[in-house]
Structure 1
Amino acid sequence: MSSAGFGRFLCIWAGEWISSIGSGLTAFALGVYVFQLTQTATSVALVTLCAFVPSILLSPLGGVFADRYDRRLMMIAGDLLSVLGLMFILVLMLQGDPSLWQICLGVTASSVFVSLLEPAYKATITDLLSPEQYARASGLVQLAGASKYLLSPVLAGLLLRFMDIKSILLIDISTFLVTVLTVMAVRKQLPAERSAITNQSWIKELIQGWETLVSARGVLLLTVLLSLVTFYIGFIQTLFTPLLLSFTDSQTLGNVISVSACGMLAGSLLIGLFSLTRHYVRWLALGLAAAGIFMTLVGVTPNLYVIAGSGFMFFAALPWINTSADVLIRSHIASSYQGRVWGLIGIISQLGYVAAYGCAGVLADHVFNPLLIEGGRLASTVGQVIGTGEGRGIGLMLVISGVLLVLAACILPALKSVRSLEQH
């Protein structure tokens, strides 16, 4: 593929990068707003769950649409329609303080339409680029996604000093328009031809996608294994806010999250510097092990410097995991099935996130935090190592999650079907 294809990808990527920053502003502001309103990690996790689950559960259907219809239009429609949920929350806030269920309804509506965007976006990358460009593009995609942790928390922390959450929502809504404009700017150069499958039912098309995924046994096994990984990663994403807010303020929270997320930038730059082109299974396993070790360190102590440093290293490991898995999967799926297969991979691999978002808050509030309060059952044992008091139960959850993530890294290289993906 010529450099022109990569240039078109960069244009679309830039729009998604700006949109990611806007989404991160809203996610941070809503997380702080809900926690201050309810003082429970469960409420924060519930909002996160509602913002995440619909786009995952509907991603297979979005993948069918991406293979059947114009992927350019799917990206535009997904961006524009997802704004409706944010506008719903904004209108309610202009009338007063919305309840928790109303916020959940708004973020759910927005997430429903994101399901049209993601499979089309990932499939378009394959349309535009050559296999040699996959790793480089994957690093950029991760960098854009990391902006919601890298830039957004600092920006949101600063903006919340001068404006309220309603203004944050307006900024986010405006960023979606930028994404739409970038897709429209290169629309004529993007491939529009789809395979002749429009006479089939979407269920049959979905079955074909599943058969394609199952036929690549290593890809399926890697996807299932990654669902276990995302379960533990989902813990740190959900619990980072209540963990830090238990002993610091929202501005410090934003600074620590941003410093931690700078690791994503560092990891992506290292991949580009060393030109990751082989040994993907090895790098995937090393990335998982590193992520597990530093997740454990995040939970060990309430020291802000240790948390920020360990968080930095945790995020630095993620590009190695994501890039390796992305290349191994993408290079084994035909372009005409990319939308459907990526939709299925999305729902399988990210079910771990759904499970984590659904149980993390409940486990923190009702199981682990009570164990490590003064006089709790583990206060005199585990508490002597990681401390006692508010938020230390969350720390214990992260320690356990990190250890299990390291175990997953040990299992991965032993799987023959996964190793065989290197022989493409």
Structure 2
Amino acid sequence: MDATLWKNSSFLKLWLAQLTANIGDQCYSFALLWYLLQATKSGTALSLLAIPEMAAGLMFYLTGGVLADRYSPRLLMAGTDAARIVVVISVGVMASFGVGQFGFFLAAQFLLGVFSSLFQPARTVALKSILPLELLGRANGILDTTFRSIRILAPMTIGLLAGSVPLSALFFANAASYLVSVFFVLTIRDSLKGKGGSTASKLTLGQYKRDIATGASELRHTRDLFYILLFGNLGYLVWLVTYNVGFPFLAERMDQGNGSTLAMLMGFYGIGNLLGSLYMARACYTRHLLVVLIGWMMQAAGFLLLTGGPAFHWLAFLGAALAGVGGPLIGIPSVTAIQVKATDANVGKVYAINMLMYTCCGMLSSCLGALWLGKLPVERLFLVSGLALVLLTVVGLAVEKRNHTTKHHSLDL
């Protein structure tokens, strides 16, 4: 792993900020799910928690992209983390008093989704501003590896603590983690590209619309980047329903409803994710679309192996791990391509457009899951999903080869 990254104090501080915030987020997620389960005794209620965040993303990602490109990403990150402190403390206070009104928690999830939609484009812009282009892929890999490692390790530690501390304390721990994140973010050197915020013009509604049009125009005219984001997101039309619906139904088929089988499937998928992230943290590449397509091909191979899960359990665990390896090969090159290929003035907006594409594909996939649920055998779901990703990869490889050949031909001329 390149030591140059760790010698960059701004990157180190950004990494520490994300490390502490990610740990706090795991505390919050665990506490919220467990508290609402006890308060509502409803699986339907828990399934609704993701909807406000997705709605917030659809409404505010573009706003976050525009703000990140016009103002200081450092101050935007600090401001959104400070706002999240207020939200999670409010949730902690309500939980400590035993308040169970579900609408309040949905509203809190919506607000957290809003602030996340403003934070993520700012972080993407900030990372580009503090690192040379050749280190961005590895930096994104390191941040992704950190997130996935915490997602695997933190719940076990939190589960041990949950029995000895009040559940509301975990919400306050999340608030403390955001406070530490604010501290590290504010100590980062402001953008090396000169986005201090003080020289930015006033943002009017008309200028906001023009900014969005500028970002969309750049994506439309930068063919390489457009195809990377297009093929990077189309696969989520089948991925989300396969993971969220297919895995639980497959676990039920494998072990007659034993929940530990589902935990093992998700665990193997998470291990695959971590291995993929570790690889991407060391990889050097310039053909971003090719890496994305390799990721989808690994997902496809994993899903096809999962079709044999009910008969051969080891195939299911191998398939889950293989599919998991593909995940980081899709997400990390997509973000890196935005940072490398988009102009400095449009990185945030193009990232926001990418997240809108992802959210729309995810919502459509959820709708497909509702239509499929109970109508087809789970093996058929994995088979159809795997074949769909194979088709996506084949078409994408043809496009990637044509673009690569055209680019080399232009350079020769």
TM-score, scaled to structure 1: 0.79
- Which amino acid counterpart does residue 234 of structure 1 have in structure 2? L
More deviation in 339-348 or 97-106?
Answer: 97-106
What SS class does the counterpart of residue 331 from structure 1 fall into? helix
From 198, 201, 207, give the equivalent of 1:198.
Answer: 201
| Alignment map for 1:193-232 (pairs within 5 Å) | 193=196, 198-199=201-202, 201-232=207-238
Q: Percent identity?
A: 20
In structure 2, C-alpha distance between the alignment counterparts of 1:411 and 1:45, rounded to whole Å: 34
| Alignment map for 1:270-419 (pairs within 5 Å) | 270-273=279-282, 275-298=283-306, 301=309, 307-357=316-366, 360=369, 362-363=370-371, 367-369=372-374, 371=375, 382=377, 397-415=381-399, 419=403
- Root-mean-square deviation over aligned CA pairs: 3.5
- Which amino acid counterpart does residue 208 of structure 1 have in structure 2? T
Q: Aligned residue for 1:389?
A: none
In structure 2, C-alpha distance between the alignment counterparts of 1:189 and 1:195, rounded to whole Å: 12
Q: Aligned residue for 1:136?
A: 138
From 72, 75, 78, give the equivalent of 2:74.
Answer: 72
CA contact (8 A) 1:287 1:317 kept: yes
Q: Aligned residue for 2:257?
A: 247
CA contact (8 A) 2:73 2:126 kept: yes
Cα 1:187–1:164 change in 2 (3 A) is same
Matched residue count: 395
| Structure 1 residue 154: Cα displacement | 2.7
Cα 1:195–1:286 change in 2 (3 A) is farther
Cα 1:310–1:152 change in 2 (3 A) is farther
- Which amino acid counterpart does residue 238 of structure 2 have in structure 1? Y
In structure 2, C-alpha distance between the alignment counterparts of 1:28 and 1:241, rounded to whole Å: 20
CA contact (8 A) 1:260 1:315 kept: yes
What SS class does the counterpart of residue 64 from structure 1 fall into? helix
Cα 1:278–1:45 change in 2 (3 A) is same
- Which amino acid counterpart does residue 218 of structure 1 have in structure 2? D
In structure 1, C-alpha distance between the alignment counterparts of 2:392 and 2:91, rounded to whole Å: 39
| Structure 1 residue 15: Cα displacement | 1.4
TM-score, scaled to structure 2: 0.81
| Structure 1 residue 195: Cα displacement | 9.9
Q: Aligned residue for 2:183?
A: 181
CA contact (8 A) 1:265 1:316 kept: yes
Q: Aligned residue for 2:272?
A: 263
CA contact (8 A) 2:301 2:322 kept: no
Structure 2 gap ranges (5+): none
What SS class does the counterpart of residue 202 from structure 1 fall into? helix
Q: Deviations over 1:156-179 (max 9, x none)?
A: 443444456433322222221121
| Structure 1 residue 80: Cα displacement | 1.5
CA contact (8 A) 2:61 2:353 kept: yes
In structure 1, C-alpha distance between the alignment counterparts of 2:233 and 2:224, rounded to whole Å: 14
Is residue 124 of structure 1 aligned with residue 126 of structure 2? yes
Q: Deviations over 1:244-288 (max 9, x none)?
A: 6983458x8667644532222212222345x32244333322210
From 13, 16, 29, give the equivalent of 1:14.
Answer: 16
In structure 2, C-alpha distance between the alignment counterparts of 1:305 and 1:105, rounded to whole Å: 42
Q: Aligned residue for 1:169?
A: 171
| Alignment map for 1:71-90 (pairs within 5 Å) | 71-90=73-92
What SS class does the counterpart of residue 48 from structure 2 fall into? helix
